[in-house]
Amino acid sequence: MDIKLLNNNDLLTASLFLKAKNLSVVLKKENEVFIGTERGVAPLLRYFEDVNDYSGFCAADKVVGKAAAYIYVLLGIKSVFAVTASLHAIKVFEKYGIEYVCENTVPAIKNRTGTGLCPMESAVLDIDTPEEALRAIRNKLCELKGK
């Protein structure tokens, strides 16, 4: 864990808030804080479709796969604390210059039953741009909802 990054007050506060309140995601910048309790990429998509500008925010998240990492890129997030992040997510952070701190890294995010890859992770596995990833994420969500 990169202690230097945790000296960033917004990132540190977001990570502590995430753990203390058992949230799924926290976005913080100065006096603004946004929280999410939904599972998966749902809160991140909600932020993306929101009218707020999240550029320069710090994020704390329980689980970050490649799909979530691409949404953080689209949101303009500057740094991410992850309890667990996939190696695919870390590559996205490094490619797009997002600072990150991870407590645990895993090769890939598994599905909720642990029997295979997370549907979102597999949907973006071979994708190389945030815009393509967003389309794939939305398509996968529609597919999962049976639409």
How does pLDDT run across 74-102, given as a tens digit for each residue?
A: 999 999 999 999 999 999 999 999 999 99
Residue-level pLDDT at 141: 92
Spell out the alpha helix ranges (H) of 3-126. 3-6, 9-20, 42-49, 66-75, 87-96, 119-124
pTM of the model: 0.92
Tokens read off for 60: 């704390």
pLDDT tens track for 30-56: 999 999 999 889 999 999 998 899 999
User: Are the C-beta atoms of 136 and 121 separated by less than 8 Å?
Assistant: no
Strand order in the sheet with 79-86: 32-36, 25-29, 58-64, 79-86, 99-106
- Which residue reads 């794939």 in tokens? 136
3 confidence band (pLDDT: 50, 70, 90) = very low
Domain boundaries, the chain: 3-107
| Cβ 32 vs Cβ 14: under 8 Å | no
3-107 is classed in which CATH architecture? 3-Layer(aba) Sandwich (3.40)
